[in-house]
C-alpha cells in the first residue's frame, strides 16, 4: 500500500467520523435551533434550517415561571454537593491514607448503596417527610441527593487521595501536624482537582434528577426536570418554548461537562478508570 | 487482596514507652480513623439502609392510602398478588429487555465512536466534545426533544426524513414503544460507553500495535486479538455501571410512552401503583423486586469487575 492511498483512506475515515458525529449530535443542535425559532416555524411540518432568530421561546419559558424552577434546581444541586463533599472528604481520607480496619468492607458498603435503586427507598422517605411536613422542601430534596451522590463522591475522592505520595504525609506528621491540619493544609490542596471533579459529578447528577424530584416536591420546591416533564400534557404548538426551556435546563451541565471532560470518565467509573 | 502493607497507620513517631501504652495509642488512633468514616456511614444508613428495610416492612403490609385504617400485616400477599395480577412479570421483562438492548447497543456504538475518535484527525477535540453532549443533557429534556422534534408524526425530523424518502410515516411511541425508549437510552448512553472505552484505548501499548502491523496482522485481526482483550476490563465496567443505572430507568418511560406497549419498567410500575393507585404495600413489593433484580444483574457483572475496582485502589 502506498502512502497516498493510505492518506486517502484516512481522509475518508475522518469524513465518515464527522458525518456520524454530526448525525449523533443533531438532536441537540435541532433543540438549540428550535429554541430560537418563532413557534410557527418550529412546529412546522417542513423543517427550516435558516431563519431569523427570535427569543420568543425563551420569553415564553420564563413566563411559565422557569426562573423559580431553575433557582430550586440550583439550590438542590449546590446544597447536596456541599453535603456529599463535606462527608466524603474525611471518609475517603480514612479509606486511603489513614486506613481503617476492613477497608474492603467499607468500600463495598459504599458501592452497594450506590447501586441501591431509588425505587427501593422512595416510599418510606415520602411517608416520613409527609408525616413531619417536609414534603416539597428543597433542602430535604438536597439532603436525599446528598445521600444519593455520597458513594460516588467517596470512591472518586479516594482514587485521587491514593495518588498523594505517602512521603509528603509522613513529612507533615514528622513536623507534628495534627490530623485536621494534615487534611486541610497538606492533603486537600494536593487533591483539589479531585475535589472539584467529585463536586462536579455530584452537581450533574443532582441537577438532572427527575424521579425523586417528581415525588418529593410538588410546587414550592419543584425543580426543573419535573417542570419540563409537565410539557407532556401540553396542548397546541409548543416546540419552540419547549426547546428553549430544554436548552436552558441542559446548558449548565453541558458546559460543566465540556469543561471537565478529562475528569468525567473518572467520576462516571467511580474512580476505577483514570 | 494484593494490598502491600506499607502500614500508613504505623505509629513510628509516637514515643511509646511500653507495649500497653502503644496499644492504647493505637486503639485511640483506630477510633479516630473510624470517626472520620462514621458521619458518611451513618448518613447513608439513615437515608438508604433504613428506608430500604422499611420498604421491606411496607411490602409485607396491606396498606392502601385510600383506606388508611385498613392496615394490617399481610405476609407475602403483596408478592403473590403481584405475580397473579399479571403486572409484575411483564414489568420485569420490560426492565430487563430495555436494559439489555440499550446497554448492548450503547456499547457497540460506543466502541465504534471510541475507535474513530482515538485516531488523530483535525478537530478531534471538537468531535469528542460534541459526542459527549447527549450524555450530559438532562434526561427529561432529552426524552422530550426526541418525543416532539424527532419522533412526532407531524413535526418530527425522523418522519420528515421518511416522507422525503417516500417511506410510510411511523408513529414511534405507539407502533414501536420499546424501540422508541431504547433509541433514546442508546443515544444517551453511547457517550458514556465511548468515554470509558476511549480511556481504555488510550492506555493501550502502541508498541504492541505497531509490532502486530509489522508482523502483517490485518486491522481486523489486530482489533480482535489485541484491542478487544485489552478493552475487556473497560467493557465490563461500562456494562456493569450502565446496567445498574438503566435498570432504574424512569424518565424516558414517563415522558415517551407512560409505560404503554410493554415498556412499563419496575420504577414506572412502582410510581403508578404508589402515587396514582395509592397502594403502598403493593408498590413496596415492586421496590423490593427491583432490588433483587439489581442484585442479580450486578453480581453477575460485579464478580469480575470488583477485582478491577480493588486493584485500582490498593496502596
Least confident of A38-52, A129-143, A156-170, B269-283: A156-170
Mean pLDDT for all residues in chain A: 91
For B100-155, write each residue's pLDDT tens digit.
999 999 999 999 999 999 999 999 999 999 999 999 999 999 999 999 999 999 99
Query: What ranges in B215-279 are assigned the alpha helix state H?
Result: 219-222, 228-246, 251-252, 266-275
Q: Inspect the interface and report whether the beta carbons of A228 and B267 lie closer than 8 Å.
A: no
Closest chain B residue to the Cα of A12, Cα to Cα: B121
Q: What is the pLDDT of residue A241?
A: 95
Q: What is the pLDDT of residue B272?
A: 93
Q: What is the pLDDT of residue B260?
A: 93
What the block records as the C-alpha cell of B194 is 465511548
Give the number of other Cβ atoms within 10 Å of residue A256's Cβ. Answer: 17
CB contacts under 8 A, A 140-179 vs B, are: 143-144, 146-147, 150-151, 154, 158-159, 162, 166, 169, 173-174, 179
Residue after which a domain boundary falls, among A35, A58, A81 = A58
**Claim to verify: residue A243 and residue A150 sit in the same structural domain:** yes
Containing structural domain, residue A199 = 64-268
Among A194, A102, A103, residue whose Cα is nearest residue A152: A194
Half-sphere exposure of A166 (CA within 13 A, CB side): 13
**Claim to verify: residue A9 and residue A81 sit in the same structural domain:** no
Cα–Cα distance measured from residue A250 to residue A14, given in angstroms and rounded to the nearest whole number: 29
What is the length of chain B? 315
**Claim to verify: residue A52 and residue A163 sit in the same structural domain:** no
> Is A105 inside any structural domain?
yes
Cα–Cα distance measured from residue B180 to residue A237, given in angstroms and rounded to the nearest whole number: 22
CB contacts under 8 A, B 197-256 vs A, are: 198-200, 234, 237, 241, 244, 247-248, 250-251, 254-255
Least confident of A174-178, A217-221, B133-137, B160-164: A174-178
Q: Is B251:A225 a contact under the CB 8 Å cutoff?
A: yes
For B60-97, write each residue's pLDDT tens digit.
999 998 888 888 898 899 999 888 888 899 999 999 99
Q: Is B295 exposed, middle or buried (0-12, 13-18, 19+ CB in 10 A)?
A: middle
Q: Is B98:B265 a contact under the CB 8 Å cutoff?
A: yes
Mean pLDDT for all residues in chain B: 87
> Is A129 inside any structural domain?
yes
Cβ pairs A/B, distance under 8 A: 315
**Rounded percentage of chain A residues whose pLDDT exceeds 70:** 99
CA dihedral A238→A244→A246→A251, nearest 10 degrees, is 180
Dihedral sign computed on CA atoms, order A113, A119, A121, A122: positive
> Is A24 inside any structural domain?
yes
Q: How many domains does one find in chain A?
A: 2
Among B174, B144, B252, B171, residue whose Cα is nearest residue A34: B144
Q: What is the pLDDT of residue B8?
A: 46
Smallest Cβ–Cβ distance between B130 and the set A25, A117, A242 belongs to A25
* Nearest-CA distance A57 → chain B (Å): 14
> Is A274 inside any structural domain?
no
Model-level ipTM above the cut of 0.90 = yes
Name the pLDDT band for B291 (thresholds 50, 70, 90). Answer: very high
Query: B136 CB near a chain A CB, below 8 Å?
Result: yes
> Is A242 inside any structural domain?
yes
Q: Inspect the interface and report whether the beta carbons of B8 and A232 lie closer than 8 Å.
A: no
**Claim to verify: residue A32 and residue A98 sit in the same structural domain:** no
Cα–Cα distance measured from residue B121 to residue B153, given in angstroms and rounded to the nearest whole number: 38
φ, ψ dihedrals at A136, nearest 5°: 60, 35
Q: What is the pLDDT of residue B189?
A: 97
Domain CATH code at residue A137: 1.10.3720.10
Q: Is A94:A88 a contact under the CB 8 Å cutoff?
A: no
**Claim to verify: residue A91 and residue A54 sit in the same structural domain:** no
**Claim to verify: residue A149 and residue A253 sit in the same structural domain:** yes
Average pLDDT over residues B28-41: 86
Give the number of other Cβ atoms within 10 Å of residue A66's Cβ. Answer: 20
C-alpha to C-alpha distances, A78 to A72, A255, B56, nearest whole angstrom: 10, 16, 32
For A202-212, write each residue's pLDDT tens digit.
999 999 999 99
Q: Looking at beta carbons, which residues of chain A come within 8 Å of B312? A: 159, 271-274
C-alpha to C-alpha distances, A61 to A64, A243, A244, B10, nearest whole angstrom: 5, 9, 7, 60
Closest chain A residue to the Cα of B269, Cα to Cα: A119
Q: Is A96:B264 a contact under the CB 8 Å cutoff?
A: no
**Claim to verify: residue A68 and residue A54 sit in the same structural domain:** no
Q: Inspect the interface and report whether the beta carbons of B198 and A208 lie closer than 8 Å.
A: no
> Is A273 inside any structural domain?
no
> Is A252 inside any structural domain?
yes
Name the pLDDT band for B10 (thresholds 50, 70, 90). Answer: very low
Cα–Cα distance measured from residue A231 to residue B171, given in angstroms and rounded to the nearest whole number: 19
**Claim to verify: residue A13 and residue A141 sit in the same structural domain:** no
**Claim to verify: residue A164 and residue A246 sit in the same structural domain:** yes
* Contacts for B204 with CB less than 8 Å, ≥ 6 apart: B226, B227, B230
pLDDT at residue B252 tops 80: yes
Q: Which residues of B9-43 are buried (b: 16+ CB within 10 A; e: fewer)?
A: eeeeeeeeeeeeeeeeeeeebeeebeebbbebbeb
> Is A75 inside any structural domain?
yes
Name the pLDDT band for B193 (thresholds 50, 70, 90). Answer: very high
Cα–Cα distance measured from residue A95 to residue A103, given in angstroms and rounded to the nearest whole number: 6
Q: Is A246:B138 a contact under the CB 8 Å cutoff?
A: yes
Query: Whose grid coordinates read 449546590?
Result: A78
Residue after which a domain boundary falls, among A33, A58, A83 = A58
Q: Looking at beta carbons, which residues of chain A come within 8 Å of B146? A: 27
C-alpha to C-alpha distances, B260 to B90, B249, B288, B293, nearest whole angstrom: 11, 15, 23, 21
According to the per-residue pLDDT averaged within each range, which of B104-113, B213-222, B297-306 is highest? B104-113
Query: Whose grid coordinates read 444517551?
Result: B188
**Claim to verify: residue A156 and residue A261 sit in the same structural domain:** yes
Cα–Cα distance measured from residue A140 to residue A134, given in angstroms and rounded to the nearest whole number: 7
Q: Looking at beta carbons, which residues of chain B come within 8 Å of A90? A: 36-37, 39-40
Q: Is A201:A267 a contact under the CB 8 Å cutoff?
A: yes
- Dump the DSSP string for B62-102: E-BTTSTT--EE-TTHHHHHHHHTTSHHHHHHHHHHHHHHH
Q: Is A76:A206 a contact under the CB 8 Å cutoff?
A: yes
What is the length of chain A? 274
Which of the pair, B125 or B18, is modelled with greater confidence?
Answer: B125
Q: Inspect the interface and report whether the beta carbons of A17 and B271 lie closer than 8 Å.
A: no
Residue A168 Ramachandran class (φ > 0 left, ψ -120 to 50 alpha, else beta): alpha
pLDDT at residue B308 tops 60: no
Residue after which a domain boundary falls, among A11, A39, A58 = A58
**Claim to verify: residue A108 and residue A86 sit in the same structural domain:** yes
Cα–Cα distance measured from residue A130 to residue B19, given in angstroms and rounded to the nearest whole number: 55
CB contacts under 8 A, A 108-147 vs B, are: 108-111, 113, 115-127, 143-144, 146-147
**Claim to verify: residue A77 and residue A16 sit in the same structural domain:** no
φ, ψ dihedrals at B62, nearest 5°: -85, 115
C-alpha to C-alpha distances, B265 to A194, B47, B236, B255, B286, nearest whole angstrom: 35, 24, 24, 13, 10
Q: Looking at beta carbons, which residues of chain B come within 8 Å of A186? A: none
Cα–Cα distance measured from residue B263 to residue B273, given in angstroms and rounded to the nearest whole number: 15
* Nearest-CA distance B232 → chain A (Å): 13
Kindly report the CA angle at B257 between B253 and B258, in degrees rounded to 5?
Answer: 70
Amino acid at each position: 500500500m502506498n502512502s497516498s492511498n493510505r492518506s486517502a483512506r484516512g481522509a475518508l475515515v475522518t469524513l465518515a467520523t464527522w458525518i456520524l458525529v454530526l448525525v449523533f449530535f443533531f438532536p441537540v443542535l435541532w433543540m438549540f435551533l428550535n429554541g430560537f425559532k418563532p413557534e410557527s416555524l418550529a412546529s412546522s411540518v417542513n423543517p427550516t434550517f435558516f431563519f431569523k432568530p427570535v427569543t420568543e421561546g425563551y420569553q415564553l419559558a420564563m413566563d411559565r415561571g422557569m426562573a423559580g424552577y431553575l433557582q430550586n434546581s440550583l439550590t438542590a444541586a449546590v446544597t447536596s454537593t456541599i453535603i456529599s463533599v463535606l462527608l466524603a472528604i474525611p471518609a475517603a481520607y480514612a479509606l486511603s491514607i489513614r486506613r481503617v480496619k476492613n477497608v474492603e468492607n467499607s468500600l463495598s458498603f459504599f458501592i452497594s448503596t450506590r447501586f441501591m435503586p431509588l425505587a427501593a427507598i422512595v416510599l418510606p422517605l415520602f411517608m416520613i417527610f409527609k408525616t413531619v411536613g417536609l414534603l416539597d422542601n428543597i433542602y430535604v430534596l438536597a439532603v436525599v441527593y446528598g445521600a444519593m451522590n455520597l458513594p460516588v463522591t467517596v470512591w472518586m475522592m479516594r482514587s485521587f487521595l491514593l495518588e498523594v505520595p505517602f512521603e509528603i504525609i509522613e513529612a507533615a506528621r514528622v513536623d507534628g501536624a495534627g490530623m485536621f491540619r494534615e487534611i486541610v493544609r497538606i492533603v486537600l490542596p494536593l487533591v483539589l482537582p479531585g475535589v472539584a471533579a467529585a463536586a462536579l459529578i455530584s452537581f450533574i447528577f443532582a441537577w438532572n434528577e427527575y424521579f425523586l424530584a417528581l415525588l418529593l416536591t410538588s410546587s414550592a420546591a419543584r425543580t426543573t426536570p419535573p417542570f419540563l416533564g409537565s410539557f407532556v400534557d401540553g396542548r397546541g404548538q409548543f416546540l419552540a418554548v419547549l426547546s428553549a426551556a430544554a436548552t436552558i435546563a441542559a446548558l449548565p451541565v453541558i458546559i460543566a461537562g465540556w469543561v471537565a471532560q478529562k475528569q468525567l470518565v473518572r467520576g462516571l467509573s467511580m474512580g476505577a478508570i483514570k | 487482596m494484593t494490598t502491600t502493607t506499607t502500614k500508613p497507620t504505623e505509629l513510628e513517631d509516637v514515643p511509646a514507652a511500653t507495649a500497653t501504652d502503644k496499644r492504647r495509642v493505637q486503639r485511640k488512633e483506630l477510633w479516630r480513623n473510624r470517626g472520620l468514616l462514621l458521619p458518611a456511614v451513618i448518613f447513608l444508613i439513615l437515608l438508604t439502609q433504613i428506608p430500604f428495610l422499611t420498604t421491606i416492612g411496607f411490602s409485607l403490609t396491606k396498606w392502601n392510602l385510600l383506606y388508611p385504617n385498613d392496615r394490617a400485616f399481610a405476609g407475602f400477599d403483596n408478592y403473590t398478588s403481584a405475580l397473579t395480577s399479571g403486572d409484575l412479570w411483564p414489568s420485569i421483562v420490560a426492565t430487563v429487555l430495555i436494559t439489555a438492548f440499550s446497554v448492548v447497543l450503547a456499547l457497540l456504538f460506543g466502541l465504534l465512536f471510541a475507535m474513530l475518535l482515538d485516531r488523530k484527525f483535525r478537530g478531534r477535540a471538537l468531535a469528542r466534545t460534541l459526542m459527549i453532549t447527549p450524555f450530559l443533557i438532562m434526561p427529561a429534556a432529552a426524552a422530550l426533544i426526541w418525543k416532539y422534534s424527532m419522533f412526532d408524526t407531524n413535526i418530527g425530523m425522523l418522519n420528515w426524513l421518511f416522507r422525503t424518502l417516500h417511506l410510510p410515516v411511523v408513529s414511534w411511541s405507539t407502533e414501536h414503544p420499546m424501540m422508541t425508549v431504547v433509541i433514546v437510552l442508546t443515544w444517551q448512553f453511547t457517550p458514556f460507553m465511548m468515554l470509558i472505552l476511549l480511556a481504555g484505548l488510550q492506555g493501550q501499548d502502541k508498541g504492541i500495535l505497531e509490532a502486530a502491523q509489522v508482523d502483517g496482522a490485518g486491522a481486523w485481526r489486530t482489533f480482535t486479538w489485541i484491542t478487544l482483550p485489552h478493552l475487556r476490563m473497560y467493557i465490563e465496567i461500562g456494562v456493569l455501571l450502565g446496567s445498574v443505572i438503566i435498570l432504574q430507568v424512569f424518565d424516558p418511560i414517563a415522558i415517551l410512552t407512560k409505560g404503554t406497549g410493554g415498556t412499563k419498567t419496575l420504577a414506572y410500575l412502582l410510581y403508578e401503583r404508589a402515587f396514582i393507585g395509592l397502594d403502598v404495600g403493593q408498590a413496596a413489593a415492586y421496590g423490593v423486586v427491583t432490588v433483587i433484580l439489581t442484585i442479580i444483574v450486578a453480581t453477575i457483572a460485579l464478580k469480575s469487575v470488583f477485582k478491577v475496582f480493588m486493584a485500582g485502589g490498593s496502596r
